[in-house]
Amino acid sequence: MLNNIGLPGLLLIAVVVLVLFGRGKISSLMGEVGKGITSFKKGVSEGTAEIEDQAAEEAKDVTPEEEKEEA
């Protein structure tokens, strides 16, 4: 169904959306979308860094459990 729209159809949809919502509303909406994407990427990178830090901590301590309990 969406394969039949073409460039003129997309331009018509863009003009209708622009007329209905106005330039300012669309601009602020796209700004919010950009902030959301940035926040998502930041969260993913922080989560990855946290997992890597935990793995590094586990890799550092190679002392067997029996020796840890005795100390």
45-62 pLDDT, tens per residue? 999 999 888 888 777 766
4: pLDDT confidence band, cut at 50, 70 and 90? confident
Query: Is the CB of residue 25 less than 8 Å from the CB of residue 17?
Result: no
Reported as a single tens digit per residue, the pLDDT across 34-47 is 999 999 999 999 99
> Are the C-beta atoms of 2 and 13 separated by less than 8 Å?
no
Looking at residue 70, its pLDDT comes to: 63
pLDDT > 70: percent of the chain: 83
pTM of the predicted model as reported, rounded to 2 decimal places: 0.52
